[in-house]
Each structure stands twice: as structure tokens, then as C-alpha cells.
Amino acid sequence: MIVAPRLSPPSMAQIKERLSFFKWGSWSRRMGRWERKNPVEYGDLSPFFHKDTLADVLMLRDMLCDCDPHSVDGWIRMVVMAILTGHSPGFLSRYSLPPGNTASPEAQRSINAKYDKMFERKDVSALIEAKSARFLAGGGVADLTGSRLFVRSADDLSIVSGNSVQLVMTSPPFVDVIDYAKENWMRMWFGGVAKTYSHAMQAQSRFPQIWNSSSMAGWEDLMNASMREMLRILKPGGFAAIEVGEIRKGSEPLDERVTRLAKEVGFLPVSVFINSQKFTKAAHIWGVNNQVKGTNTNRIVLLRKPGGPLFDYAGTFSDLSL
């Protein structure tokens, strides 16, 4: 739902044409009956949306639930999932947490009471069109319709042949910091994966391939198994790039652990690239101060599988630790 549409994006003309076929506002007169039939679902969603906006979102969910992810409808579904909730006028919800951090219904009620911002109806079609234009502003991507997509845990890549991949890029989950089901519950609802907020909270048991390690030792075990799979599928001389941050209020960068684990499974560490960030006001919602606590850097650990053609590192990377 999220990746496939981006591999074969439609044109803006196709998006506009498809948006013109939806019957915007047609579900508004159904809302009373829908609310009575779905009281829990309505209770979860009503704190976030104007009633007429919610009606349009429900209409889209109903029409797009079984669409081909490579179709124009698949693109529209992906865009809606990207703009469901947020803290600026470009999102479908009223004022909420920054994108990527979906509030619970209870938390959203608290935000509503605290900020008491206007609860206006949103032009859903216009917002989808505007977000699509931003996504496609760079010209989109090359035609990747021949690409293969798999949904697997990173420690089980048995569907991929050994010595067949040139590059692996990944960013593993944080350690017992982010509840990924909670952060994505509304996207799961819109995609038809979950019926309600409480149903989404059961995602870990329903989808065990989602990592959820409560300890550093458990995280290292998962990383060890995943790195062994990366090493297996990479061609000799192939590269793995693993992006991590910091834990324990920024006091421990995870790149050091990744480098140690990589050596244990047989990788050759090449370099660590560090991006130091200055955060916007959104970060302060979580109490993250620049260079004080939280995740203030992105660190990409570049690893190489032994063998293959020699690579001229000199002059390419300034920090080498082979």
C-alpha cells in the first residue's frame, strides 16, 4: 500500500481525472446511520475530523479498500494514508501530532481541549491533489514496475537467493521506544488492516514479523540474525547500509553496536556517515532539545561483504575503519 504506488506513479492528469469521479459529500447524509452501526469506530475517529471530512474519508476507504496498489486508486490510497493526521492545514485532521505520530483517540480529545482550534471541513480532493503534486515534483521515479516486493521479517529472507543482491539498505526499529502499531493505527484502519484503535493495538500478535524488542539484548539478537541474512543474500563485494540513531537520551549511539555485530557475522566495516540535525518545533512536542536528548543524529553504517572486485576507498570516503 505504501511502497508499490511509488514504483509506478501516475501522472497528475490521471490523478486529477480520477479524483473528479468520486462523489464528494455523498456520504454526509449517511453519517447518522453509520455512526449508529459503528459506535466504537466513530468514537475513535470523530475526535480527529470534521463530520463531513470523515464522510469523505469513509467514502474513499470503502471505494479503495481492494484496489490494485499499482493503479491510480492505489496511489490515491497511499496519499490519503500520508495526510490523514498532522499539525498543519495540509492534513485532513484537525490540529494533531506531527505526521508519523498518530495520537490515540483519548490523546486527540486532550489536544482538542487544549488547543481548541477551528474544526473546519477539509477539501479532501484538493489536499490529495496538492500532496500528489509535491510527491511528483521531482519527476517521480524511473519505471520500476518489474520490481518485486516482499513483506518479510528481516531475519528471514529465504525468499531471496544467496549471492544475488548488490546493495541492502535498512533502518531497524528502535529499542522499546516506538510502538509502531500505535503510531500507525489510523493508517492500518484506512488500509483495512484494523477495524478500530483497539484492534490495531493487537497488531504485534497478529503480525509477529513486526519487531518489538523490549531489551537491548533482544534487539542485538534480532540484528545478528538479520545481518546474517544480509550477508547471505549479498554478492561478494556487495554493500549494506544500516541507518540508526541514539538511545538512552542520546548518550549511546547505536552505530558502535551495529559495527561490532557486523564484524561478528563476517562483514567488513567501511565507514560511518553522521548527519547531525537541528530540530523544528515539532520535536519539542516530545521534549527533544537540539543536541541535548532524544535522537539528534542519523548514523549510516556502511558495510561490505568480503570478496568481489577491489573497491578504491581512497578519496571516496574520508573516514575508513577496515
3-state secondary structure of 315: coil
Residues 72 and 35 in one domain: yes
Residues 22 and 123 in one domain: yes
3-state secondary structure of 192: coil
pLDDT of residue 93: 96
pLDDT of residue 164: 96
Residues 17 and 125 in one domain: yes
Q: How far apart are CA 24 and CA 87, in angstroms?
A: 24
Residue 74 or 312, more confident: 74
pLDDT category, 206, cuts 50, 70, 90? low
CA distances from 226 to 2, 188, 254, 259 (A): 23, 25, 16, 14
pLDDT of residue 148: 84
Q: Residue range 124-146: average pLDDT?
A: 85
pLDDT for 46 beyond 50:
yes
Residues 243 and 168 in one domain: yes
> Whose CA is closest to 283, among 293, 268, 273?
293
pLDDT of residue 303: 97
pLDDT for 312 beyond 80:
no
CA distances from 184 to 86, 115, 199 (A): 13, 23, 12
Q: How far apart are CA 241 and CA 228, in angstroms?
A: 14
pLDDT of residue 245: 83
> Whose CA is closest to 82, among 149, 136, 131?
131
Residue 101 or 263, more confident: 263
How much is the pTM?
0.82
Residues 48 and 119 in one domain: yes
pLDDT category, 286, cuts 50, 70, 90? very low
Q: How far apart are CA 310 and CA 268, in angstroms?
A: 13
pLDDT of residue 5: 92
> Whose CA is closest to 267, among 305, 222, 225?
305
Lowest-confidence range among 40-54, 57-71, 117-131, 244-258?
A: 244-258
Residues 81 and 162 in one domain: no
pLDDT category, 115, cuts 50, 70, 90? confident
Assigned domain for 186 exists: no
Q: How far apart are CA 254 and CA 80, in angstroms?
A: 33
Query: Given CA atoms 185, 190, 196, 202 in this order, what sign does their dihedral have?
Result: negative
Q: How far apart are CA 245 and CA 172, in angstroms?
A: 10
pLDDT category, 63, cuts 50, 70, 90? very high
Assigned domain for 30 exists: yes
pLDDT of residue 7: 86
Total count of domains within the chain: 2
pLDDT for 289 beyond 70:
no
pLDDT of residue 321: 42
Cβ burial 74-98 (10 Å sphere, 16+ → b, else e): bbbbbbbbbbbbbbeeebbbbbbbb
Mean pLDDT of the chain, nearest integer: 86
Residue 229 or 321, more confident: 229
Residues 52 and 160 in one domain: no
Residue 205 or 102, more confident: 102
Residue 213 or 93, more confident: 93
The number of angstroms, rounded, from the C-alpha of 300 to the middle of its chain's C-alpha atoms is 18
Assigned domain for 190 exists: no
pLDDT for 317 beyond 70:
no
* CATH number of the structural domain spanning residue 286: 3.40.50.150
Domain ranges, residue 73: 4-135
Assigned domain for 192 exists: no
Q: Residue range 157-166: average pLDDT?
A: 95
3-state secondary structure of 71: coil
Residues 47 and 87 in one domain: yes
Assigned domain for 206 exists: no
Q: How far apart are CA 141 and CA 231, in angstroms?
A: 28
Q: Residue range 300-310: average pLDDT?
A: 91
Q: How far apart are CA 255 and CA 245, in angstroms?
A: 7
CA distances from 108 to 3, 46, 54, 103, 135 (A): 28, 10, 15, 6, 27
Residues 169 and 59 in one domain: no
CA distances from 220 to 212, 232, 233, 300 (A): 12, 18, 20, 17
Percent of the chain with pLDDT over 90: 62
pLDDT of residue 140: 60
Lowest-confidence range among 11-25, 79-93, 244-258, 296-310?
A: 244-258
Lowest-confidence range among 61-70, 207-216, 250-259?
A: 207-216
Residues 154 and 228 in one domain: yes
pLDDT of residue 319: 46
pLDDT for 311 beyond 70:
no
Residues 168 and 302 in one domain: yes
> Whose CA is closest to 136, among 3, 6, 2, 1?
6
304: enclosing H helix or E strand: strand 297-304
